[in-house]
A and B are shown apart, each in its own frame.
Chain A
């Protein structure tokens, strides 16, 4: 009888210890990070394996296909769930996540640890800060990304092409410094009889493709989606932004036929199959172009960052994500998440992250000769990350995006109306949403 009681007591004690363990300060044995299904998430898993080797805490990077990623995270937010400790989320999510209390405020953590100063200011602003300019941060910039350009060096450096270009346009054929030069080069290389076209630009209507592509000249020409008081009228529809849209439409006229709904996959496709002399794309998709098994022009593929607008300003549409901590996990797991980010943000780990193929936002790593030399597009990437700019991140961003997408696509691809009408319609549509949401009085 005594023996039986002892066994039961021992079992109860064992169960209590086992179940109670996570509640202890030292008890976190696993951390779950949610991210979309793509190569950088695999790199993060490898970094997580290093963390497990160093601390004994297992890191699981749970991947969801891009198409359903936001839906899955949003559903977990609505349920105030704890299925993930950290999430690598898009910059546009910040508004909703923060106004509804889904993310932990990381301002004190990022400031007191000095991590805030280790990343490029633009990435901290767009991946982590909400509201803009508030100095409140909710994410550590993890995967920096933005639009850049890939081009065919063999075409650009061909003596016949160089001579012909200079004869036609009056200046040497080289990497374009302005959007007008980019247009000239695109026009020059558009030779349908040879199956060659000057350029590939984003035109996808489905989600945010054409908006992301257009933002590059739009910002460089002095445009913005709204001002500090959320006024879209008179900000979106200026003569400069109209000129930017006309230029983007002209660029599209030099694109391979059939790219009327093209995004990152189609850009790489037209480049790899030799249809385009240069393409815009997110840097995250350039590794494929550097691979000679995928790109027959890999050896002669060069990369450059966004050209300047009329006033010399340069902007690149932002991609990428920052890592945030789930507000609904307990304090112990929050602390364990902070510990992971502290370790992840160290220069040594960021260098490993970059070496694996992750796009670090760490200033020291971005400037290091090792990083600049490890991939042919890294120099352009490092330069680009100093002048990135994002679309809106307020909770209504989805509605705003839908308006912009529709009118841009109708004008650029469908040829409906004029650039001025398109920009006016966008401004009015955005204004209606911003007024209805209470941003504009």
Chain B
């Protein structure tokens, strides 16, 4: 009986064997077939727009015009780099990135140190601290606009400004508006830095601290020679991500100040949006500005990555 079954099984396998043509598909070919749709999508959705916008950056073109792009060479780049308004936008973006990323690093690292040791409710507190980074930036901007409102916002009374006539107008004062955006960004994204630092801190072997304690090393010495070097690679990654995001900052600015008062908080991305849309539709010029931003971000990222590699090697 089993022999019959075995024979049946054999004949069944022979009957269902694939045709000769299909048997010729190599593993490599199958891999290629699986990858091909992704490659096509990438080319259509990423590579083509990237190359096409590079081409447009050398043209005078408006996407809403029926006129075709007109080649102008480096005119768009020259125009941007010689315009003081654009340099002002870059300076605003740089100041914002520096303030925002520095404070996030300090606050995020401090939070990680606080939440490093396990205590009752530490899990819930860690989860709650992470909530801001899970929110949409535009939602965050809308409710912070209410918080900053000098008439009915809660921030001024909390800070002790109870007289509405002398209360600071956070979003309407050029000296405070950038700080207001920085405060919101730090509130939202410090938890991200904290999360990466926590991962780094939890990976430090306990015996290092035990050995240092036996050698009577001070807490500061332990922090400087054990904690900081061990966390540094992850901290640098957090700083890299946050710097890239800070240079692209758009939604918080748009939601809180729209670049105002005047151009006090007009970051490069907000200017880029205004050039590309908002009645101007300067597609060629805005493409050139987008490429300049890209080059700046790539250059800064490179510096961070080199520092990271040096850390790993050292």
> Which 7 residue pairs spanning A and B have beta carbons closest together?
A410-B262, A398-B279, A414-B261, A260-B172, A74-B64, A257-B150, A205-B260
CB-defined interface of A248-260 with B at 8 Å, one 1/0 digit per residue?
Answer: 0000000011101
- Interface check A207, CB cutoff 8 A: yes
28 contacts between A and B (CB under 8 A): A71-B277, A74-B64, A74-B281, A77-B66, A78-B66, A80-B66, A204-B258, A205-B258, A205-B261, A206-B258, A207-B279, A258-B151, A258-B152, A258-B171, A260-B169, A260-B171, A261-B171, A261-B172, A261-B257, A397-B279, A399-B282, A402-B280, A410-B174, A410-B261, A413-B260, A414-B174, A414-B260, A415-B174
Contact call B164/A192, Cβ cutoff below 8 A: yes
Give the B-binding residues of A (Cβ under 8 A).
70-71, 74-75, 77-78, 80, 92, 96, 100-101, 192, 195, 204-207, 256-258, 260-261, 275, 397-399, 401-402, 406-407, 409-411, 413-416
Number of interface residues of B (CB under 8 A): 35
Which residue in chain A gives the minimum CB-CB distance to B153?
A258
- Interface check B65, CB cutoff 8 A: yes
Using A258-B169, A261-B171, A402-B280 as known contacts, say yes or no to A409 and B65 having CB atoms under 8 A apart.
no
- Interface check B117, CB cutoff 8 A: no
Contact call B66/A261, Cβ cutoff below 8 A: no
- In the complex, which of the residues B66, B169, B257, B263 contacts A257, with contact meaning CB atoms closer than 8 Å? B169
Q: Which residues of A have CB within 8 Å of B258?
A: 204-206, 261
- In the complex, which of the residues B171, B274, B279 contacts A92, with contact meaning CB atoms closer than 8 Å? B279
Contact call A416/B280, Cβ cutoff below 8 A: no
- Interface check B140, CB cutoff 8 A: no
Which residue in chain B gives the minimum CB-CB distance to A99?
B65
Q: Which residues of B have CB within 8 Å of A406?
A: 262-263
Using A192-B164, A257-B151, A257-B169 as known contacts, say yes or no to A398 and B261 having CB atoms under 8 A apart.
no
Contact call A398/B278, Cβ cutoff below 8 A: yes
CB-defined interface of B44-83 with A at 8 Å, one 1/0 digit per residue?
Answer: 0000000000000000000111110000000000000000
Which residue in chain B gives the minimum CB-CB distance to A398?
B279
Contact call A410/B263, Cβ cutoff below 8 A: yes
- Interface check B246, CB cutoff 8 A: no
- Interface check B233, CB cutoff 8 A: no
Contact call B257/A398, Cβ cutoff below 8 A: no
Which of B148, B261, B263, B274 has the most chain A CB atoms closer than 10 A to its own CB? B261
Q: Which residues of A have CB within 8 Å of B152?
A: 258
Contact call A416/B261, Cβ cutoff below 8 A: yes
